[in-house]
Structure 1
Amino acid sequence: MEGDEIVEDTVVEQVAKRNKTLNDQQKFAAYVALHTLCMSRGGILKRTDTQDIANFFGVGVWNIQRIWRKAMSQIKQGQEVDVSNQRKGNCGRKPKDINLEQIITIPLNRRSTIRSLAWQLGCSPTMLHRKFMLKLIRRHTYCVKPALKEKNKKNRMKFCLSMLDEATTTTPRPKFKTMHNIVHIDEKWFNMTKKNKTYYLLDGEEEPTRPIHGSCIGKVMFLIAIARPRWDSEGNVTFCRKSVSGHL
């Protein structure tokens, strides 16, 4: 929608203004502009003056207000107005280094989330998440798989060998059967209803009941067979890939 696009553009502009900073020359120019407006009105600024200056430089209004407050504080103390940036050289908080090699020594049950892993490493979750975004660590999800017994492994091996094409077993590279004449069958059970159901009724409406015979919920089973389509001698389809049957 056009209205949503306008709102999104406005939010982007506000974020850009909030993150933008002025250099020393621009800060001093903003102070001079406010000082000129203040002197032309007898030492009084309008409420919209700081907003107008902020719009001119494309920054947030708090940037201009901070420059003005700093200049007024210096004037009251009898100092020379200096609104330049006081942070010089290598300033700011230094990033904390994390030894990611320690992750291997941490048990798996204690590094299932970013928060728990950060607690074990002694860092913040945000810092560890940055490492994740840099692909220095990765997320792995696995499910429980049933363990096969020796009998199951042998049965699987026998099934794989039975699917080899006998005409190609003497060749250097045997091939498997095309499985064009094999029908795959599977069944699925479904309950006829659930034990508990929730409804919304009008005040005073009679509550419905769901009686069942015996203590068990009725079930229905669907048997599905999937295979290649079959045609008769006249070209009519006698089997269309799948067949479904059900019974209670």
Structure 2
Amino acid sequence: MLLLAVDTATPAVTAALHDGESVVAESSRVDARRHGELLLPAIDRVLAEAGVKIDAVTAVVTGVGPGPYTGLRVGLVTAATFGSALDVPVYGLCTLDGLAHASDLDGPFVVATDARRKEVYWARYDASGNRVGEPAVDRPADIAEQVAGLPAVGAGARLYPDVFPDARDPEHVSAGALASLAVRKLAVRKLAGGTEEMDFLPPQPLYLRRPDAQVPKNYKVVTPK
């Protein structure tokens, strides 16, 4: 087994390789404006560090968000391209679940990432790190009662200390954590004889809201004379 994991749903552009036992190589860089420039070089770095070629990859894991429109699509399109070219499966995972998996919290907690527009993408997790309900996008003040008293991880929590006073690491998602979570889910399926639901998501973007760019409603139509 050799999983290639990528995520571009947040300002962190991250890639990793996992051999089924541990993360063998990982590269992450935080830059909210250069997802398209940074992801492929990151993949090249982890392949070189692991001493393998891309055709050794047996599956691809990608964070599906939630996240902003443009950055999120970079990772998903890249994952789909590699999956098609290598003829290997592509597994989708919620980016918030990757952050939850990387935390060392042993009680109920919240994951919150920056959704811009003075909002956060967020979800609650139980003491076992399992997500409670679906991810959502809200203004922090509107969810203050729901998250009161809970520690929180993610960059979104750090942006709003009045609502998330107990912000913890990790701040950004890592592809290594996504890969480790995928390996755990695949192991559960194997133990169940291939019949248990793996809880992977389709490798499609989880936007939760419409993109910022909109077609003008009253644009001028120009017709030939």
Compute the TM-score of the two structures, normalised by the length of structure 1: 0.20
Normalized per residue, which structure has more strand?
2
Compare CA radii of gyration and give the structure with the larger one.
1
Normalized per residue, which structure has more helix?
1
Compute the TM-score of the two structures, normalised by the length of structure 2: 0.22
